[in-house]
């Protein structure tokens, strides 16, 4: 495992006491840690946009999934 990521996964995030308690919409409650192999240039491009690259990759995959679900539903009907 890449040591760069191990530290992030193994430490618990501290939550400030002033954190808003309003519920978020369109948020998937469960996430699972997975290992995925990506092309180096693509990963560097995502990382180059700054922190949160894993979230951006997830958002793009979620949009792809939603688009294809719509196409699949249209083909069935």
- Which range, of 4-13, 52-61, 62-71, averages the lowest pLDDT? 4-13
Chain segment 1-19, per-residue pLDDT in tens:
445 544 444 444 555 556 5
What whole-number distance in Å separates Cα of residue 58 and Cα of residue 52? Answer: 10
Q: Residue 46: is it exposed, middle or buried by C-beta count within 10 angstroms (0-12/13-18/19+)?
A: middle
List the Cα angle 58/50/24 in 5-degree steps.
Answer: 45
- Which range, of 12-16, 26-30, 40-44, averages the lowest pLDDT? 12-16
Per domain, the residue ranges of the chain are 38-77
């Amino acid at each position: 495992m890449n040591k760069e990521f191990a530290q992030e996964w193994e430490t618990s995030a501290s939550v400030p006491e002033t954190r808003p308690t309003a519920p978020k919409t369109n948020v998937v409650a469960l996430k699972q840690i997975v290992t995925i192999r990506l092309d180096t240039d693509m990963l560097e491009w995502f990382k180059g946009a700054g922190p949160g690259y894993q979230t951006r990759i997830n958002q793009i995959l979620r949009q792809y999934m939603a688009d294809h679900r719509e196409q699949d539903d249209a083909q069935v009907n």
